[in-house]
Amino acid sequence: MVTMTGSLLSQADPEVAASIGRERRRQIEGIELIASENYASAAVLEAVGTVLTNKYAEGLPGKRYYGGCEFVDEIEVLAIERAKQLFGAEHANVQPHSGASANLAAYFSLLNPGDKILGLNLSEGGHLTHGKDVNFSGRFFDAHFYGVDPVTGLIDYDQVLAKAREVRPQAIICGASAYSRIIDFKRFREIADDVGAFLFADIAHIAGLVAGGEHPSPVGYAHITTSTTHKTLRGPRSGFIMTSEEFGAGIDKTVFPGMHGGPLMHVIAGKAVAFREALQPSFKDYARQIVLNAKAMASAFMERGFPIISGGTDNHLLLVDVGSIGISGRKAERLLDSVGISTNRNTIPGDTRSALLGSGVRIGTPAVTTRGFDEADCVQVVDFITRALRAPDDDVALARIGAEVKELTSRFPVPGIDRDALD
């Protein structure tokens, strides 16, 4: 079984098997609050761990550069059709290996090197691939940024419009990795139209919420929509792209041969399975609970005196201002790690600390919701977190919280991971 460190792997490579075993234990016993992570189902894990990894399939279904592609063709067609159905898209390409490569394909299909792009500043919730200087997006394109309002923490669409009129970009990128409010894709399209720019929507974080009807969809507004598959969407670690018929052929050509050779057919199978799962009615319940849990956590933090950027959340994540109690995000992240709670530090709007330290901690509910946590469980988690953050040097208190974390997680099996297989 792929979810276990099976005996074959243990025999063939005991070192790798042992590390996987420790990671499996960490995932089961800890509380996973990294907003971009989730637990893929056993079916997704199984698909990704199959013989499909042996197959080369350069090209697209029916148009391959290798023989023996009849069965992987079936799988890729299923993945494409399911992605289109799930998001109501005219065209989908399911080959990008990640969200970053999906964005690379979007840029290179409609832009030329040196063109101007306008995206949300990384330090205010954006993403590396939205123009950061150390990333391809900032190296090949002339990147400009909009931010969030320093007081409200919200995207100020008038400011985006003003910036767009000043910069006159060829493309505007909307979407974020640390923004907890609804993104108004219609407004972004109006701004893009105002300046004659393409609109790219990166829904890597919120794809599962869009699929589940908890967040408006950019499909129909954005010229190109990119996403990962492993965050709220709960599939394998990968990416995909959606667009209209008009831009479909350009995207396909940019992905292959423009960007990569052979697609990862085992991962495409995992994507097909995940899209099918997301098409089930129960996925809507899951998406709804993700948001309810995040809202419950935001309220509980604020009740305990921790400011939440923008005063709450509409989606799967919240940004907690831990600088307010005089500690950095990095210190908070490490402290929480020590009690078995995984989060990640983040800068907050107007941060005076560097990105290495940050004054915020980003918290997301997709993974705990997958394992069945409800609002009360999430408030319990906030209690663990705030107690730990307020007792950074109290080893006894931290040990007690660590034990409570294990007790809580022992009551929630992780779909896809067999607890009995723990070493």
Task: Report the residue from 5, 27, 36, 232 that binds ligand DSN according to the rule CB under 6 A.
Answer: 36
Angle between the 70-87 and 265-279 helix axes, to the nearest 10 degrees? 40
Torsion of CA 58, 40, 275, 172, to 10 degrees: -80
Per-residue binding string, ligand DSN, 119-138, x by CB under 6 A, is: --------x-----------
Catalytic option among 32, 202, 333, 351: 202
- Give 101 or 254: the residue with its C-beta nearer to ligand DSN: 101
Catalytic option among 50, 56, 288, 353: 56
Q: Give the 3-state secondary structure of residue 12.
A: helix
Judged by CB under 6 A, the chain residues 266 through 295 that form the site for ligand DSN are none
Catalytic option among 237, 276, 330, 362: 237
- Give 101 or 328: the residue with its C-beta nearer to ligand DSN: 101
First to last CA, the chain: 15
Q: Give the 3-state secondary structure of residue 303.
A: helix
CB of 364 to ligand DSN, least distance (A): 9
| 224 Cα distance to chain centroid | 18
Residue 117, beta-bridge partner list: 143, 171
Q: Is the peptide bond before 415 cis (omega within 30 degrees of 0)?
A: no
- Give 127 or 316: the residue with its C-beta nearer to ligand DSN: 127
Q: Are strands 198-202 and 224-228 parallel, antiparallel or unpaired?
A: parallel
Torsion of CA 102, 104, 110, 113, to 10 degrees: 180
Judged by CB under 6 A, the chain residues 198 through 227 that form the site for ligand DSN are none
CB of 289 to ligand DSN, least distance (A): 21
Side-chain-side CA neighbours of 414 within 13 Å: the count stands at 28
Catalytic option among 29, 37, 46, 58: 58
For residue 364, give both structure tokens.
Answer: 């997301």
Catalytic option among 132, 189, 231, 295: 231
- Sign of the Cα pseudo-torsion (148, 151, 157, 161, in order): negative
Q: Are strands 91-93 and 59-60 parallel, antiparallel or unpaired?
A: unpaired
Whose CB is nearest to ligand DSN? Answer: 36
- Give 204 or 264: the residue with its C-beta nearer to ligand DSN: 204
Q: Per-residue b/e over 101-123, b at no fewer than 16 CB within 10 Å?
A: bbbbbbbbbbbeeebbbbbbbbb
- Give 24 or 127: the residue with its C-beta nearer to ligand DSN: 127
Per-residue binding string, ligand DSN, 352-391, x by CB under 6 A, is: ----------------------------------------
CB of 238 to ligand DSN, least distance (A): 12
Q: Tell me how far apart the alpha carbons of residues 247 and 76 are, in angstroms, rounded to a whole number.
A: 19
Residue-wise DSSP of 371-418: TT--HHHHHHHHHHHHHHHT-TT-HHHHHHHHHHHHHHHHTSPPTT--
- Give 99 or 402: the residue with its C-beta nearer to ligand DSN: 99
Residue-wise DSSP of 322-345: -GGGT--HHHHHHHHHHTTEE-EE
Is there a catalytic annotation at residue 168?
no
Is there a catalytic annotation at residue 228?
yes
CB of 99 to ligand DSN, least distance (A): 6
CB of 362 to ligand DSN, least distance (A): 8
Task: Report the residue from 3, 137, 177, 347 that binds ligand DSN according to the rule CB under 6 A.
Answer: 177
- Give 3 or 347: the residue with its C-beta nearer to ligand DSN: 347
Output the 3-class SS for 231-269: CCCCCCCCEEEEECHHHHHHHHHHHCCCCCCCCCHHHHH
Is there a catalytic annotation at residue 237?
yes
The 8-class DSSP code of residue 349 comes to: T
CB of 343 to ligand DSN, least distance (A): 11
- Give 37 or 375: the residue with its C-beta nearer to ligand DSN: 37
Q: Tell me how far apart the alpha carbons of residues 229 and 212 are, in angstroms, rounded to a whole number.
A: 14
Number of shown-chain residues binding ligand DSN (CB under 6 A): 4
Judged by CB under 6 A, the chain residues 91 through 110 that form the site for ligand DSN are 99
Which residues belong to the active site?
56, 58, 202, 228, 231, 237
Q: Which residues bind ligand DSN (CB under 6 A)?
A: 36, 99, 127, 177
